[in-house]
Amino acid sequence: MPGRRAFLASVAAIPLAFAQPNVAPGSITYEEVPYPYPVKFLPLTVYAQEVRLAYMDVPPAGTPNGKTVVLLHGMNFGGFYFKGPIEALRNAGYRVVVPDQIGFGRSSKPVIPYNLHDMALNTRTLLQTLGLQKALIFGHSMGGMLAARFAASYPAMTEKLVLCNPIGVTDTRWEQPWRSTQEAWKALVNRTPAEAWQASLANIQRYFPNAWKPEYEEYVRILYAPTLSSEWPRFAMVRATVQQIPYLDPVVHDWEHIKSPALVLAGENDGPDFPGRARHIAETIPGAKLVLIPNVGHVPHLQVPEVFNRDLLRFLQ
């Protein structure tokens, strides 16, 4: 597969220029990570455990248009990386709700069987608590999987749907062998600090092939800091569990059941097979549109914010 070899070579060519830095241990609830707006908490009970769902509820700037956009984050992030989209949306008159799913960001980190159905239900509970009967649903990366599950499960609440560089674009159960949660957890907790730093760095660098900027190191540090915490063994089990979601809870069969107007908005340089898979998603969701941004990787709202905001607002409006 020459295309895949070329892509992996381009990722490998990104300089691992950052030696393991002097990073202080980080809270597993991201207390030291700055969020663009105040964070509130919704109490929930999940699997007989009392937890808190963190979220931002940002009012529109200027004249409200009466609509709400929900931003659903990816697996290696929380709501903190949505500052740019929040500003673009609120300045266009939208209310913006940004939850950290349970297990992520400033939300609680219980050891539970994580799945998209529970995440979608928790998101619906949050919207109902906020008095919202309908919203525009946007999901990036793992959030794209969640957004698809939400739209398929709660069509009456989904006014429009945007999937941005979603993962889980194939049913990997038949492509790779199962790796137990215990095995995945051991691999995480047995890393040395240097190995944890390099793994965090590689995780973020692959999102920006041939487009690395020094400011992206902030997200490496956010991903790395909790590995130094005394609570890392518990958080590592959470991470090991959520990383199995694409394997255990595929959404490839959800797309055909989505009834809302939908857009697949993505950087096309997200792997050699991604453009074709993005087209397949758009063709499977009835009436969906597709916008592929050239020469852009996995996180277009960070890499090309002006282009991303323009295309997002054009669809929502």
Convert the pLDDT of each residue in 224-261 to its tens digit.
999 999 999 999 999 999 999 999 999 999 999 999 99
User: What does the pLDDT read at residue 308?
Assistant: 98
* Beta partners for residue 70, in sequence order: 97, 137
Query: Which domains occur in the chain, in start order?
Result: 2-316 (3.40.50.1820)
Which residues are CB-contacts of 301 (< 8 A; sequence separation ≥ 6)?
81, 82, 84, 85, 140, 164, 308, 309
Which residues are CB-contacts of 209 (< 8 A; sequence separation ≥ 6)?
7, 10, 11, 14, 269, 297
On the question of pLDDT at 8 being above 50, the answer is no
Convert the pLDDT of each residue in 269-317 to its tens digit.
998 899 999 999 999 999 999 999 999 999 999 999 999 999 999 999 9
User: What does the pLDDT read at residue 175?
Assistant: 84
Angle between helices 305-316 and 83-91 (to 10 degrees): 40
15-32 core/surface letters (b: 16 or more CB in 10 A; e: else): eeeeeeeebeebebbbee
- Give the 3-state secondary structure of 95-117: EEEEECCCCCCCCCCCCCCCCHH
pTM of the model: 0.93
Alpha-carbon gap, residue 265 to 166, rounded angstroms: 9
Neighbouring C-alpha atoms within 13 Å toward the C-beta of 165: 24
Phi, psi of 167 (to 5 degrees): -95, -175
Convert the pLDDT of each residue in 112-158 to its tens digit.
999 999 999 999 999 999 999 999 999 999 999 999 999 999 999 99
Assess contact for 299 and 162: CB atoms under 8 A.
no
